[in-house]
Every structure is written in C-alpha cells, then in structure tokens.
Structure 1
C-alpha cells in the first residue's frame, strides 16, 4: 500500500534528500584517501533521508517476538514475525522513524527504528544444508582450527578485514553448560556482512 504524501511534503522531502546527497558526495571527496568501505558497497550505497546512514546497511533485531508490517506504521497489517532476537537484517529503505528490512530469506517489511540496533551479527552459511565451517585462531586459511560451526548458527561480529571476520558465539552443550568461542571465519561464509566490507 503506498504511503500517502502531500505535494508540499514531497517537495520538502526532495529538497532534503538532494541536500543530503550533495553533502555526502562532498564529504567522500574530501575523505577519499581514508575511505575503507569495499568499492562495490561504496558504489551502491545511498544515504537514508531519515538517519543519514548508508542504505543498504546491516543491523540486528533488538527483541523477539517482533512484528514486521507491510507498510511504515502500526495501521498496516503484520507481514510476518521474528521469533529470534539478534538476527541480522538489512535495511533497504527509510520513512520517518520506520525502516524497511530484508531478512536472510529475502522477505521484506517495515519495523520501527527502535526495534533494530546497530550491533553486527551474522548467520553462518545459511545457504548450506550441512557441512561445518572452520572457526580459526587467526585470520587466514592456514590458521589452526579452534572449532567447527554448523550452518545457520547466529554469531556476533566484532571486526571484518574484507576477507575474514572476527566473531563470538556461545554454545550450550547437552549438560546445560555454556561455552563461549571467539575466532575468525572467512567473510564469504557469513550472511550479515557485505563482501569486502571493512569495520572494527
């Protein structure tokens, strides 16, 4: 369902959007030598008109259950519900205090900005039905394996180098004892970070 907008609102919206884009272009031009985002991501990124942050970008769900709606407002129907907190989602659009998000399965809908947080999380190889993923002591395929991760495990992402990410996760064994693991995985095995993305 389209979001109703008056002509005055649209005019103001376009002026703000164009001003923000100009400011971002100037800022990137001044800071080009230090800009470390992967080229593919930088070329496709836009700026959210409400937050001023890049679009698209990954965030994570704050709580569960969380209702995702078909439009930006509580008057819209519920499209689906997240039952697991902390899962990564991709923000693909903004409207006022609402964010359109996409999950790992490609389903999209709208949530209020307070229902997502900037903490970076990821799912380990959710496209694989089976087959372990190596959690290594250090970045690089030659590093020793610390543990083996199962597909679709939820992990916290601490840093990414563009080819590898440092992650942390907790696993509860059959005896109820929780063990925390930390190490590095190949960046291409995670859904929740972009190819070549660098952050710390």
Structure 2
C-alpha cells in the first residue's frame, strides 16, 4: 500500500512540475518557446490531441490564457492552442514580419543600416521605446521599427 501511495505522490508532484511557483502574469503577455520541440494541443492536458508540432526554439508567442501548468498561446500565424507551461520561457523575442527589415545602429530612420533581416528571422528583444526595438540575431544587433516585429505591442516600452 505504501508503494502505491508513494507512486501516486510522485505522479502528482511530476504533474505539477510545469506549474510555476511564481505569481501568474496578467494575460495577454509575450514569451517565447524555450524548447527546441514543442507540441500545441487543443486543450490543457496531455490527453488532448496535438494540433501542431513546433521545432523552433525562441519562437515568439503571445500567452492569452493560463491554466495550472498550461498556457494557451497564439503563434505568429495566429494559430492558438495549449502548451505545457515549462515549454514557454520569459525570454523576449521578436520575429521579422512581412518584408525585409533594416536594422540600424541607432533608433531612428536616419541612422546607418548595419544589417538587413528577412521575414521569419527571430532575435532577442532587449529594449523598446519610441517605436523602435533593439533586436539581437545571434550576436548581430541593431534597432528595428516595432511595426516590423511580431512579439511586441504597439507603443511598448521595454528595458
């Protein structure tokens, strides 16, 4: 009987491992995939079918709802579904949307273009102000207009 009880306790503890001990953030908020592979499900549980399989660590997602250990997210294409909470990280990333984006050495239209990024390129967002965000793509950084990024809110200030 003790073996069964211990096994049940272990299963309950493992099931809550995806739940964060920190306070819940107010939805919606921006996050990114912290794992190289992630499954999006139709509901908040492993018994729900997998709708999508992601293989892109760092992909920005918008968390639109929470459930203990699970997050309902929206991806850059607008697809929504549920993911285990520990697959979602706090690292802010942004993805270039639509056309090619110029990354500049300062946050203004007149600044020198240091890089160009194609649609779908993902980078770490470290600072946003006055309609510009600092984007780092594997060590190559610059400022990009926030309207060219998916993963930040219009007018967002981020330090």
Q: Smaller-chain TM-score range?
A: 0.7 to 0.9
Q: Report matched runs for 1:48-197 at 5 Å.
A: 51-125=23-97, 128=98, 131-170=99-138, 180-197=139-156
Runs (5+) with no aligned partner, structure 2: 1-21
Q: How many residues align?
A: 138
**TM (normalized to structure 1)?**
0.66
The runs of at least 4 aligned residues of structure 1 exceeding 2 Å deviation read: none
Output the CA distance in 1 between the equivalents of 2:49 and 2:119. 32
Match of 2:11 in 1: none
Output the CA distance in 2 between the equivalents of 1:121 and 1:183. 14
Deviation at 1:113, TM superposition (A): 1.1
Match of 2:5 in 1: none
Contact conserved, 1:162 with 1:195, CA < 8 A, in 2?
no
1:52–1:153 distance in 2 versus 1, CA, 3 Å: same
Deviation at 1:112, TM superposition (A): 1.3
- RMSD, aligned CA: 1.3
Deviation at 1:51, TM superposition (A): 4.0
Deviation at 1:133, TM superposition (A): 1.2
Output the CA distance in 2 between the equivalents of 1:64 and 1:146. 29
